[in-house]
Amino acid sequence: MQRLEGTFYRVIFARDMVHLLSGANAPEGRFHHDGQAALYLSASPEGAAVAIATYLRPDDPPRVMVLLAVTSARILDLRQPDNLGALGLSGHEPSAKWQEERAQGLPATSWRASDSVRKAGADGMIYASRKAPELWHLVLFNWNQPGHAQVAAKGAPADFHT
């Protein structure tokens, strides 16, 4: 496990700024299911744009990109083979096409990764972008609670355009 601090990026609907730090509002996603908390962030503006691209629709309300300061995060970097091995993972789990698996009624393979990281007691994990592997993202499972990662908005949101 390693400590992580830095500036990260999140794209959300402008109307949802009041829920900026609430995490994902969908009941399940790449790394959360069954009511689990998850806050998905990207390490760069480019990464945030790639991550959100699948979800963009022509009639969407306006979105904003928000900078977030993350401090005191204890994370596992799943780009590192040693971490994968310690968790009993092969390395393909984070990039599995979870939505296709769920459409077939199967549990998402990616949940094996996040469930293993949660069980290890980490606040979250780093994973490579599936669409652009040179980019990376951070997902937090525990934040803004005593003894866990702290996340706060950093500056004003910027309009997000594709």
Q: DSSP assignment of 71-99, as one string?
A: EEEEEEETTSHHHHHHTT--S-GGGS-HH
Q: For the chain, list the domains and their CATH numbers.
A: 2-160 (3.90.175)
- pTM reported for the whole predicted model: 0.92
Distance between CA 56 and CA 50 in Å, rounded?
10
Provide the residue-wise pLDDT of the chain in tens; the chain has 162 residues.
999 999 999 999 889 988 999 989 889 999 999 989 999 999 999 998 888 887 777 888 888 999 999 999 999 999 999 999 999 999 889 988 899 999 999 999 999 999 999 999 999 999 999 888 899 999 999 999 999 999 999 988 888 987
pLDDT score recorded for residue 119: 96
pLDDT score recorded for residue 26: 86
pLDDT score recorded for residue 131: 84
